[in-house]
A and B are shown apart, each in its own frame.
Chain A
Amino acid sequence: MKPINCTFLLALLMSCFLLPTVLVQAENATPLTPREQAIHALNRMSFGPQPGQVDRVSKMGWEKWAERQLEPESIDDGELDKRLKENNPSLFMGSHEIEQNYMPERLSKEEQKNLSAEERQKLNKKRNQLRGKLGNELISSVIVRAAQSERQFQEVIVEFWRNHLNVYLPKVRYAANHYEQNVIRKHAFGKFEELIMASAKHPAMLIYLDNHISKSSGLNENYARELMELHTLGVDNHYTQEDVVELARVLTGWTCGRKKGEDGLNTYGFIFNPRFHDKNSAKIVGLEIEGDGGLGDGEKIVLHLARHKGTAQYVSTKLCRYLVSDNPSQELIDRVTQVFLKTNGDLRKVYRAIIFSDEFMMRENFKTKFKTPFEFVISWLRAANAPVKQTGTIARTLTEMGQPIYMCDVPTGYSDQAEAWLDPGVMAYRWECSVNYTQVLAKRGAVSPQVESWKKLPPRKMAEKVRNMLIPGEPVESAVSMLMKGEGLRGMAQLALGSPAFQQQ
């Protein structure tokens, strides 16, 4: 067979994709309608609209809604806080209190020796139960807050940093609850460098990436590498393997141990141990450290990394991908990077620069993000206004879908990009989840009375209601005709949740 003429093939190829491109551009030039704007804002700045919310936001104008979301403190979340304090008290405890409440009483070595096998077993059982309870409080708080907090943008952003500064619960154990509350949540709307410093000095991160056991006499590079590769500069960006080793040396002595906390109580936490510390000079990513400034040397280099231009670029890119599009324009990234640098990493201003950029509300970014399993599950809880009580079931569902909360063992955290989740088998899980949940809700009668009343409507009306509730961005005609193939309210809800439209945001 003769090879086909090259030029001809090329021309054919060109004509194939140039034409649709022009059409797409024309289509994308149409601005979003106020209703679409509300849907888009709710998709990206919250975990999806609740019943009636699209109407409310579109009426008040999305910008006004977004302004408030960007200042989470201005939104009252008292009712949720009250419930969390009752059901998830560990989130609000200091390390000392967590120990007191979630660890069995500590025995002296002598007492431990004298335990019978049976007593030992009993003690271990109690220890595991308490630890399980602590972990469940953390995981359920993540689900409840994401689904029900009025401060939705805060939850969306917290989910971003939770992955950016990922820790793995089975390894960090007792430290994770305190980390969520006092590192991630506390600094998510503050300065980037404070966030990084807080993570660098938290037992959860030190234990997770092995820095607590790194000594001048026996170096462990794990944290030093990930601090540059994942938390600040981004992979192979401005640093080399030599920098990794040097940084690991400077960070020796950043470890955990017992000390008097702010409350004056003896507690386990971050300490600087000069005996572990490498006192020599070092040069890391252009910064010269003379050596033996003790803890200060490490602090200097952590700040240097957090303030680096490469860090601003890397973090801005990641945020634009998360909030705007899997492929954000370089212009947008550059502008956001400038804001990051000018404001010395003032995260609130960085988010604002992204949300109020022209790109954010462009039609070409409308419904272009594929929901992660977490976003899929939470958005459906919100859309159905489902009571979030059985968080254990929800957590298990997320495990099956490959995104268990606080259980990502690799330090990258979970990706929010379609390429990581849009796999050939992905819909199998989502269909199963849709079918199970709608069944469970129907059986338990846990659907709101308003939704319950739809059961009496004729199929077409019912389909319209389901469309408005679950896939409001879909054109009415095609959505309704698709849904009407479902049997009754439950059948329609199953179809809507498992449809392509519900996977998009």
Chain B
Amino acid sequence: MNNSRRRFIKQSGSAAIGATLLNGTVTQSSLGRILGNQTGSKPTLVVIYLRGGADALNVVIPYKEKKYAELRPTIALPGPDTKDENRAIPLDDTFALNPNLKGFAKLYEKGQCAPIICVGSPHPTRSHFSAQDYMERAAPGMPNVTTGWLNRYLEETKSENDPDLRSFVLQPQLPRSLRGTYPVVAMPRRLSDQTMEIYKDSYNNMTTKRKGSGQQLKGQILSTGKSTIANLKELNRLIGQDSGSGDSNYPKTPFGARMSNVAKIIKANKGTEVTALDYGGWDHHQNEGPIDGALGTKLADLGDSITAFADDLGERMERVLVLVMSEFGRTVRENGNNGTDHGHGGAMFAIGRMISEKKTYGTWNGLEDPNLYKNRDLPVNTDFRSVFAESIHSLFGFDGIKAGLFPKYSRENQPLNFLRKV
């Protein structure tokens, strides 16, 4: 048990995780995992985080609400019942999609895309940084919980023979949801095998014998380097392979390229369970441009990349779930600068072939003032932890709530039931 793990248990205000660790609940549930098959084509969760607080109301549009256009005189999208060439694409009687999400609309028609509305954090913070921390650690209002929820899942269910690529990210820094004691591979980009050869010896053979805090940091750097060498070699090989199919459909953007690489690794069947991608720049305080401006172009890139990914994986999407989220939604009213400020309730998307029903999930209260949160934002009717819990339960058969994966959280209300068991 290393130090940061101890720190987590010590600091997590609730004894939930600590207690489950000590009383054996997790020991038993991990045992099931250990006996199970650890490699091959496991179910995979792909978490995409839109940093900055994406404007949910211009992504999943409540087009029947009169207030929608009224409160957003310059940035409301034309409803599907208009003749406008940029009109929103209808999903049902209440909601429509931003026209840049054409691919999502097609997936929705096939019952493979679930928009979730009015979802978010029970904590009122409007700070990007706190909101992201709380969400990625699935511990709203608990600043002392410092491990990511996905890392805790990996840690709780780890086994002796976990595959090396059980969890990886194709970016230099780990998102907070994957920080913690379980080793996750972060691959910045390709590094030549030749360069790794230079450092292999010194990293594999060096040890820290002496004690002291400088030695502790050195030990961390050493183990980081060791696993980097092992994993990058493998990733180099997998990404270098031309998988042939599907590549050409991805947008020629950095995000499109990353999605294409993630697909290659999933298709290689290396036992990957969790991967995550950060996508920055969703904080549109001014000139939001939901059609062909700042927000619109980002949405097109996001939607086209994920749609290409789903096409590329084909049948495999039976066991691959893409979850798109952001730290909060934005103000219902536009601000003085054709943009929106930090809000509360937001939206998520789940994409995969295990979506249970073709519909929009979550509870909608309308846009009349008394139904808004503090008279300005969408309310949070679904706690993000309920979405997280259902996702890992459906994919991996792991009951995170029972296992104490979400500190101080017990199942309230009905789950959304947006997923079938995989």
**A residues near B, CB below 8 A?**
1-4, 6, 9-10, 13, 16-17, 20, 23-24, 27-28, 210, 213-215, 217-222, 225, 229, 235-236, 241, 244, 363-370, 400-402, 409-410, 412, 418-429, 431-432, 435, 482, 485-486, 491, 494-495, 498-501, 503-504
Contacts and interface: CB of A to CB of B under 8 A. Distances in A.
B147 to A, nearest CB: 11
Contacts of A423: 172-174, 186, 224
17 contacts: A1-B27, A1-B31, A9-B22, A214-B337, A218-B335, A220-B341, A368-B213, A370-B221, A409-B281, A419-B179, A425-B187, A425-B188, A426-B228, A427-B225, A482-B206, A500-B206, A500-B222
B24 interface: yes
Contacts of A4: 24, 27
B124 interface: yes
Nearest to A403: B172
Given A431-B198, A495-B199, A504-B218, A424 B213 contact: no
B140 to A, nearest CB: 12
A214 B225 CA distance: 48
Nearest to A244: B126
Contacts of A503: 221
A367 B184 CA distance: 25
A217 to B, nearest CB: 6
A486 B199 CA distance: 9
Interface in B276-329: 280-281, 285-286
Nearest to B174: A423
A115 B228 CA distance: 56
A504 B214 contact: yes
Nearest to B141: A236
Nearest to A325: B213
Nearest to B124: A241
Interface string B211-235: 1111011101110110110011000
B241 interface: no
Given A409-B281, A485-B202, A499-B202, A210 B213 contact: no
Contacts, number: 185
A27 B172 CA distance: 35
Given A495-B199, A495-B202, A420 B128 contact: no
Interface string B124-146: 11111110000000000000000
Contact of A24 (B130, B192, B211): B211
B225 A409 contact: no
A236 B286 contact: no
B198 A435 contact: yes
Contacts of B172: 401-402, 423, 425-426, 429
A167 to B, nearest CB: 15
A229 B196 CA distance: 42
B252 interface: no
Nearest to A25: B211
A499 B172 CA distance: 19
B161 interface: no
B411 interface: no
B217 A13 contact: no
A232 to B, nearest CB: 14
Given A424-B231, A426-B188, A427-B199, 19 more contacts: A1-B27, A4-B24, A6-B22, A6-B23, A215-B336, A220-B336, A241-B126, A367-B218, A409-B281, A422-B224, A424-B174, A425-B186, A427-B228, A432-B191, A494-B198, A495-B198, A500-B217, A500-B222, A503-B221
B222 to A, nearest CB: 6
Contacts of B202: 482, 485, 495, 498-499
B347 interface: no
A427 B227 CA distance: 10
Nearest to B27: A3
A428 B420 CA distance: 40
B379 to A, nearest CB: 15
A435 B212 CA distance: 30
Contact of A236 (B125, B198, B201): B125
B183 interface: yes
A428 B228 contact: yes
B227 A424 contact: yes
B206 A16 contact: no
A111 B189 CA distance: 48
A402 B173 contact: yes
A249 to B, nearest CB: 12
B378 interface: no
B28 interface: yes
Contact of A10 (B22, B27, B198): B22
B248 interface: no
Contacts of B191: 428, 431-432
Contacts of B83: none
Contacts of A222: 285, 341
Contacts of A23: 211
A337 B134 CA distance: 28
Nearest to A500: B221
A485 B27 CA distance: 44
